[in-house]
Amino acid sequence: MEKDQNQNIQNDDDKSESIGNVDDQNEKISSEDKTQKNEITPEEKILELEDKLTRTFAEMENQRRRFEKEKEDAFDYGGFLFAKEALNIIDNLERSKQVLKNDQDLKDTEAQKKIIDHIDIIIKDLVSIFSKNNIKPIDCLNKKLDPNYHQAMMEIDDEKNEPGTIIQEIQKGFTIKDRLLRPSLVGVSKKKDNNTKKNEENGENQATKNDQENL
Q: Which CATH class is domain 137-209?
A: mainly beta
Identify the burial level of 34 via C-beta atoms within 10 angstroms of its C-beta, where 0-12 means exposed, 13-18 middle and 19 or more buried.
Answer: exposed
Total residue length of the chain: 215
Is the per-residue pLDDT at 185 higher than 90?
yes
pLDDT band, residue 3 (cuts 50/70/90) = very low
In sequence order, what are the residues at sequence separation of 6 or more whose Cβ sits closer than 8 angstroms to the Cβ of residue 164?
A: 144, 145, 188, 189, 190
| Inter-residue contact 182 to 173 (CB < 8 Å) | yes
Is the per-residue pLDDT at 131 higher than 80?
yes
Is the per-residue pLDDT at 167 higher than 60?
yes
**Residue 186: predicted pLDDT:** 94
**Which of 115 and 192 is assigned the larger pLDDT?**
115
Percent of the chain exceeding pLDDT 90 equals: 27
Among 39-48, 60-69, 154-163, which range has the highest average pLDDT? 154-163
pLDDT tens for 65-111 read: 777 766 666 656 667 788 888 889 999 999 999 899 888 888 888 98
**Which of 151 and 5 is assigned the larger pLDDT?**
151
**Residue 213: predicted pLDDT:** 58
Average pLDDT rounded to a whole number, residues 2-11: 50
Q: Where in the chain is the domain with CATH 2.30.22.10?
A: 137-209
Distance CA 178, CA 134 (A): 9
Cα 69 from chain centre:
15
pLDDT band, residue 118 (cuts 50/70/90) = very high
Give the residue from 145, 150, 151 showing the smallest Cα distance to 190.
145
Is the per-residue pLDDT at 177 higher than 50?
yes
pLDDT band, residue 56 (cuts 50/70/90) = confident
To the nearest 10°, report the CA torsion of 124, 125, 128, 133: -140
**Residue 22: predicted pLDDT:** 47
Q: Is the pTM of this model over 0.85?
A: no
Tell me the average pLDDT of the chain. Answer: 77
